[in-house]
């Protein structure tokens, strides 16, 4: 199988090899050193401001979305949440669960965020935070970080960014954009197995974490930070995945850093989009991430295309859920993929057309 999904994605051989080894005991100075290095490398790749910290949560990306809302925001906050798809909706549900007052911005399907969307929230009305999945993976729309960042600066809002499918695929400068919380996950562009999600916290976010007691024992960021001081975690983490993350972050540093990784992903996405010309698909997003190409098949059902690619050609692309199931599929460009893999996928689509399946 070739995996063009948005996660879990294909891992390099060096990462897979670590997965084949015995998992070491972790309350050791050696593992603490790995964790301290992981924290440093993650913050460096994000261009995090001085005094930032990062924690590694054992749990998928949603665990860190929940930990961020629960530990950084509180009942006194009033948030603007961008709800442009299923991940945006998840943030809304978390705000409801933790009694954080919020209002949503709901861009239409495939649409970018614009000045007009933000205008109603300009000039206070008691808002304290802005919460966004910078790449809404369910629709493949990348929101304009500069627009959001300027808005938050003007209005003095804390900025929480889920960058789970955007980290390492699109430019993201935590310091320059004034982001307070960045969330990433192991199984997206980090191209490791699922199991770990990462949270970077600015000094302002750290002060908020310190100010309120957590409502959950397992996702208590105060405890995660205190343990992280000595390179440890409160409970047994996904040790193997953390070792794989260490290898992956080192490789990214060695191969030219985050910019080189973003460039590589961007070239792969561009190559795929060029090759797609002439095939019966519409790209449905007006603001694309390098991570994903969202496609509407104009002559067939999306679910059927996904199924045929899987069974007849050994290729996984990402199906969509709910009401989008028959209209939208998504091709990922993250993980260990090559231009040759793009060629294989396009050849399969050309063959499907010759069989009148699209
Ligand atoms: C994948 C993803 C998540 C996390 O999903 P999990 O299944 O919990 O790992 C969150 N936000 C975005 C934008 C994602 O793409």
Cβ within 8 Å of residue 13, ≥6 positions away: none
Question: For ligand 1, is residue 324 a contact (CB within 6 Å)?
Answer: no
Cβ within 8 Å of residue 160, ≥6 positions away: 68, 69, 72, 73, 129, 130, 131, 132, 179, 180, 181, 183
From 5, 58, 62, 64, mutation site for ligand 1 pocket: most ligand atoms within 8 A of C-beta: 62
Whether 12 and 137 have beta carbons less than 8 Å apart is answered as no
Distance 295 CA to ligand 1 centre (A): 19
Question: For ligand 1, is residue 167 a contact (CB within 6 Å)?
Answer: no
Distance 166 CA to ligand 1 centre (A): 10
Distance 185 CA to ligand 1 centre (A): 7
Residue 30 CA, distance from chain mean position: 29
Question: For ligand 1, is residue 165 a contact (CB within 6 Å)?
Answer: yes
Question: For ligand 1, is residue 85 a contact (CB within 6 Å)?
Answer: no
Q: Compute the mean pLDDT over every residue in the chain, rounded to the nearest whole number.
A: 97
Question: For ligand 1, is residue 195 a contact (CB within 6 Å)?
Answer: no
Question: For ligand 1, is residue 334 a contact (CB within 6 Å)?
Answer: no
Interstrand relation of 181-185 and 158-162 (parallel, antiparallel or unpaired):
parallel
Whether 14 and 336 have beta carbons less than 8 Å apart is answered as no
Question: For ligand 1, is residue 5 a contact (CB within 6 Å)?
Answer: no
Which of the four pLDDT bands, split at 50, 70 and 90, describes residue 16?
very high
Distance 63 CA to ligand 1 centre (A): 9
pLDDT at 124: 66
DSSP string, 24-80: PP-SSHHHHHHHHHHHHHHHHHHTPPTT-EEEEEES-HHHHHHHHHHHH--TT-EEE
Nearest 5°: phi and psi at 42? Answer: -60, -45
Question: For ligand 1, is residue 327 a contact (CB within 6 Å)?
Answer: no
Question: How far apart, in whole angstroms, are the C-alpha atoms of residue 352 and residue 121?
Answer: 48
pLDDT tens profile 186-236:
999 999 999 999 999 999 999 999 998 889 999 999 999 999 999 999 999
Distance 137 CA to ligand 1 centre (A): 8
Question: How far apart, in whole angstroms, are the C-alpha atoms of residue 52 and residue 165?
Answer: 21
Which of the four pLDDT bands, split at 50, 70 and 90, describes residue 40?
very high
Question: For ligand 1, is residue 71 a contact (CB within 6 Å)?
Answer: no
Which of the four pLDDT bands, split at 50, 70 and 90, describes residue 313?
very high
Say if residue 164's pLDDT is above 90. Answer: yes
Nearest CA to ligand 1 atom 5: 61
Closest ligand 1 atom, residue 185 Cα: 9
pLDDT tens profile 93-137:
999 999 999 999 999 999 999 999 999 999 867 999 999 999 999
From 5, 6, 7, mutation site for ligand 1 pocket: most ligand atoms within 8 A of C-beta: 7
pLDDT tens profile 48-72:
999 999 999 999 999 999 999 999 9
pLDDT at 354: 97
Nearest CA to ligand 1 atom 10: 61
Question: For ligand 1, is residue 265 a contact (CB within 6 Å)?
Answer: no
pLDDT at 315: 98
Question: For ligand 1, is residue 185 a contact (CB within 6 Å)?
Answer: yes
pLDDT at 212: 86
Whether 4 and 292 have beta carbons less than 8 Å apart is answered as no
Distance 138 CA to ligand 1 centre (A): 9
pTM, entire model: 0.97
pLDDT at 6: 96
């Amino acid at each position: 199988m070739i995996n063009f999904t948005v996660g879990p994605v294909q891992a390099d051989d060096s990462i897979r090899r670590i997965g084949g080894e015995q998992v070491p005991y972790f309350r050791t100075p050696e593992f603490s050193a790995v964790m301290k290095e992981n924290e440093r490398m993650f913050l460096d790749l994000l261009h995090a401001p001085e005094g930032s910290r990062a924690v590694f949560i054992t749990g998928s990306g949603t665990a860190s979305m929940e930990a961020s809302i629960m530990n950084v925001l509180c009942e006194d906050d009033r948030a603007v949440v961008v709800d442009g798809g299923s991940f945006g909706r998840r943030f809304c549900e978390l705000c409801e669960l933790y009694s954080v007052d919020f209002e949503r911005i709901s861009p239409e399907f495939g649409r970018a965020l614009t000045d007009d969307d933000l205008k109603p929230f300009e000039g206070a009305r008691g808002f304290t935070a802005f919460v966004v999945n910078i790449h809404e993976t369910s629709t493949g729309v990348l929101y304009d970080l500069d627009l959001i960042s300027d808005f938050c600066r003007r209005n003095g809002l804390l900025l929480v960014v889920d960058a789970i499918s955007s980290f390492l695929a699109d430019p993201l400068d935590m310091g320059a954009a004034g982001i307070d919380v960045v969330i990433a996950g192991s199984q997206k562009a980090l191209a490791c197995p699922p199991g770990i999600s990462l949270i970077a916290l600015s000094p302002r976010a750290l002060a908020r974490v310190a100010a309120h007691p957590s409502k959950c024992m397992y996702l208590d960021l105060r405890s995660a930070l205190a343990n992280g001081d000595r390179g440890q975690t409160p409970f047994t983490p996904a040790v193997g995945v953390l070792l794989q993350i260490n290898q992956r972050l080192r490789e990214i540093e060695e191969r030219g850093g985050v910019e080189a990784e973003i460039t590589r992903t961007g070239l792969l996405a561009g190559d795929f989009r060029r090759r797609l010309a002439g095939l019966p698909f519409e790209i449905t997003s007006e603001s694309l991430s390098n991570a994903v190409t969202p496609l509407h098949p104009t002559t067939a059902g999306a679910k059927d295309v996904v199924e045929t690619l899987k069974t007849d050609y050994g290729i996984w692309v990402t199906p969509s859920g709910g009401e989008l199931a028959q209209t939208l599929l998504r091709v990922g460009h993250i993980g260990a993929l090559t231009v040759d893999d793009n060629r294989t996928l396009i050849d399969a689509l050309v063959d499907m057309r010759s069989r009148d399946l699209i």
